[in-house]
């Protein structure tokens, strides 16, 4: 089987501006290697500019969310087809900030992932437990439920990326230890294997949650961690490039 893709995904959240796009994309393009994918997910209004700057470079780009329907009276939303038309290879779905602030449930996240796949956009599906889930010993139960909802709607062997993002590690500076993250990644891969053994080995599983230039290498060295989803540190091009090189 082909080895699974390694990648680093920059999630700018609602930060940055056109100047950041114009400063960072040429530098990222110069650093992009075939062996590790580099993906930038800017705020949606900048996708056109990022697409223009990334064109014919090795840098891929994507959105931070997508609607759960193909079209309609949905003010403020955009469809997976629109992302495909803009050249987005990826869309993040189910980020904990969407699950929390916008009340997205497992079913909504699963439908969004299916919409992406139908449009030819690869969903980067985020799963993760809260601190209270972890403290009450519910981590695996919560993750298995989040994953099951997605797998039920997905055709076997569909292209998708899984991102393990413990909610307590996002934006807190408190990353999971490499061993802790590896345990969860191996668990997620075993869950995928229950669904399709051949598929499980080919799904890229990213770690996200306070990945920084100084902890990236030890996280990415773990056998089931195939790269990272990076929030805060991705807004600094030097930090993002250090993290990328660690993958
Ligand atoms: C994220 O937003 O996906 C994330 C992991 O954020 P941070 O790296 O800032 O913790």
Span from the CA of 25 to the centroid of ligand 1 (angstroms): 20
Q: Give the number of the atom of ligand 1 that is nearest the alpha carbon of residue 126.
A: 3
The whole-number pLDDT of residue 198 equals 85
Query: How many DSSP H helices and E strands does the chain contain?
Result: 11, 8
Residue 37 known to be catalytic: no
State yes or no: 155 annotated in a binding site.
no
Nearest to 53 by CA among 34, 74, 26: 26
Kindly give the distance from the C-alpha atom of residue 209 to the centroid of ligand 1, in angstroms, as a whole number.
5
Ligand-binding annotation for 215, yes or no, is no
Do the annotations mark residue 94 as ligand-binding?
A: no
The pLDDT value given to residue 2: 60
Residue nearest to atom 1 of ligand 1 (CA): 231
Closest ligand 1 atom, residue 170 Cα: 10
Q: Which of 176, 216, 229, 243 for mutating ligand 1's site (highest number of atoms within 8 Å of CB)?
A: 229
Concerning whether 71 is annotated as a catalytic residue, the answer is no
Q: What ipTM was estimated for this complex?
A: 0.97
The pocket around ligand 1, CB under 6 angstroms, is made up of: 11, 13, 165, 170-171, 208-211, 229-233
Q: What is the DSSP letter of 73?
A: S
> Which alpha helices (H) appear in 43-169, and where do they start and end?
47-54, 80-85, 96-101, 106-119, 131-135, 139-153
C-alpha 49 chain-centroid distance: 21
Nearest atom in ligand 1 to the alpha carbon of residue 234 is: 8
pLDDT, position 246:
97
- pLDDT number for residue 155: 81
pLDDT along the chain (247 residues), means of 10: 86 98 97 97 98 95 98 97 98 97 96 97 98 97 96 87 97 96 98 90 96 98 98 98 98
Ligand 1 mutation target, pool 100, 211, 235, 236, most atoms within 8 A of CB:
211
Q: State if pTM tops 0.80.
A: yes
Closest of 143, 65, 51, 72 to residue 111, by C-alpha: 65
């Amino acid at each position: 089987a082909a080895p699974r893709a390694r990648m680093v995904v920059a999630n700018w959240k609602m930060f940055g501006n056109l100047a950041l796009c114009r400063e960072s994309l040429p530098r990222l393009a110069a650093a992009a290697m075939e062996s590790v994918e580099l993906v930038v997910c800017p705020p949606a209004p900048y996708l056109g500019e990022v697409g223009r700057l990334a064109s014919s470079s090795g840098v891929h780009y994507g959105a931070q969310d997508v609607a759960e329907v193909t079209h309609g009276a949905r003010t403020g939303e955009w469809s997976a087809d629109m992302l495909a038309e803009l050249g987005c290879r990826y869309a993040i779905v189910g980020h904990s900030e969407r699950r929390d602030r916008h009340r997205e449930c497992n079913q909504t996240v699963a439908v969004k992932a299916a919409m992406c796949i139908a449009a030819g956009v690869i969903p980067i599906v985020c799963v993760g437990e809260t601190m209270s889930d972890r403290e009450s010993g519910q981590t695996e139960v919560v993750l298995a439920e989040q994953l099951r909802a997605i797998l039920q709607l997905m055709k076997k062997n569909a292209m998708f990326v899984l991102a393990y993002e413990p909610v307590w590690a996002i934006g807190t500076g408190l990353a999971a230890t490499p061993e802790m993250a590896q345990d969860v990644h191996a668990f997620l891969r075993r869950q995928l294997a229950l669904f399709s053994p051949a598929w499980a080995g080919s799904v890229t599983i990213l770690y996200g949650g306070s990945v920084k230039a100084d902890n990236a290498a030890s996280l990415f060295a773990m056998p089931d961690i195939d790269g990272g989803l990076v929030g805060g540190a991705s807004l600094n091009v030097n930090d993002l490039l250090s993290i990328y090189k660690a993958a």
